Structure 1
């Protein structure tokens, strides 16, 4: 992987953006905030670039920056064995989810095109006036997580991790300070061979009276770090968002498709 020269950020200011920027500067890299949804000509395809941004902004600028973006397959969670999810998870289209007649947790797999939450039935989802019906969704049984953790994974190794919620309420602390640290790391080892890219974020949690389960996977280049070590999180981000030509065959299948961006 090439040496980081410039970390690009979106216009949206976040605590994680600030933390990663500070970590990048400590390495002698420049940090550039893109003020518009396009890349100035002189900064396009800059050597040694990376990006931290939300999915929509990343889609708008990644191609101009010459970057590839790793993410988990959209159906990854649904393909996991039930012993890793402790619930039924189905992958399909939002049109299929419109037919739901029961409460379910519904979310877009790899973006935030509509709120990820429990829906009483399919009627509460965005309708034909907002979507064309082919958009992918994950539909999950409802479970209660007693505590949840965020893991930044690089080549299958947990580089840094943080507790982020207890009983659904924000409760942030480094993994090292949590008494369940050994359990979290042991469960993370079970994710090997489940079809993840080399750099990714996975959320896991403890389900009441059932055990440990995967919550979801997230793109490292768009994930909040909570109480994770910023330098270690940056290592994962740099591996997940880098010049497209640097990705080997094993990771190329995990690259986020680059949409065609129409400019005025």
Structure 2
């Protein structure tokens, strides 16, 4: 069951639509929301400070239009993954700066917490990371032990409950499938229930969490672990039910006057690059 929205609600989309934006637009229209695809990062006068606005789009677009739409954008803290208990992360993870990471002389997985300017992946050592001409030394990055995810799932979380979900990768390759058709459905949802029960207060009420099955070659076993957390208003839906994904997106990027006290800490301004 999806969540009904007042008829005055509207969804703003960027000039170029990806597959997820198109699916969300169709879902929004089905429930009576107006859909406004902007020609550029400028809000038209008739939508400026109008009540009932929501958004789906990238950080540059969101950063340009959110204030004029009176929106708040929910996002997890940069260090959320690094602060997770080991039982959920299953690897050592640290939030540091790109400048510090460049000093490393060991292989590592490096990604930015929210921005996508730095290609996320395994680097043989810090010398392989981009120089200052690409990203400044104070750019925040997550540095993690290298692990192998056998299969990965995307969870759209609403009020500490998995509201929609999809498989998105198998053996590191894109392979979306509805979670109901996947052999790991029950294991994924059981792991998510434990994670959200223990860590829900450290996440926004509407967020995306990616989880995966890790192969531990040293111990000869497999276990579930969190891959990362992301903003729901800038996350690919893959094979998840778009109507239920829309429920999460509407909460994650919604009117400022509906912001709850609980979510105030998760309203950092979006990045303006990436």
The normalised TM-score by structure 1 is 0.94
Aligned to 1:243: 255
Q: Aligned partners of 1:228 and 1:145: how far apart in 2?
A: 20
Aligned to 1:147: 151
How many residue pairs get aligned? The number is 260
Q: Aligned partners of 2:271 and 2:135: how far apart in 1?
A: 17
Aligned to 2:135: 131
Point out where structure 1 has 5 or more consecutive residues left out of the alignment: none
> Which string of whole-angstrom CA distances, capped at 9 and with x for unpartnered residues, describes residues 213-244 of structure 1?
00000100000000000010000000100012
Matched-pair contact (CA < 8 Å) for 1:86–1:210: no
Matched-pair contact (CA < 8 Å) for 2:152–2:211: yes
Aligned to 2:118: 114
> Which string of whole-angstrom CA distances, capped at 9 and with x for unpartnered residues, describes residues 74-98 of structure 1?
0000000111111111101111111
Q: Aligned partners of 2:257 and 2:74: how far apart in 1?
A: 13
Cα 1:259/1:158, change in 2 over 3 Å: closer
Aligned to 2:218: none
Point out where structure 2 has 5 or more consecutive residues left out of the alignment: 216-220
Alignment of 1:11-160 (within 5 A): 11-160=15-164
- Quote how far apart the aligned CAs of 1:210 are: 3.0
- Quote how far apart the aligned CAs of 1:258 are: 5.7
- Quote how far apart the aligned CAs of 1:206 are: 0.2
The normalised TM-score by structure 2 is 0.91
SS at 1:32 equivalent: strand
Matched-pair contact (CA < 8 Å) for 2:59–2:271: no
Matched-pair contact (CA < 8 Å) for 2:95–2:142: yes
SS at 2:195 equivalent: coil
Aligned to 1:203: 210
SS at 1:188 equivalent: helix
Alpha carbon RMSD of aligned pairs, Å? 1.6
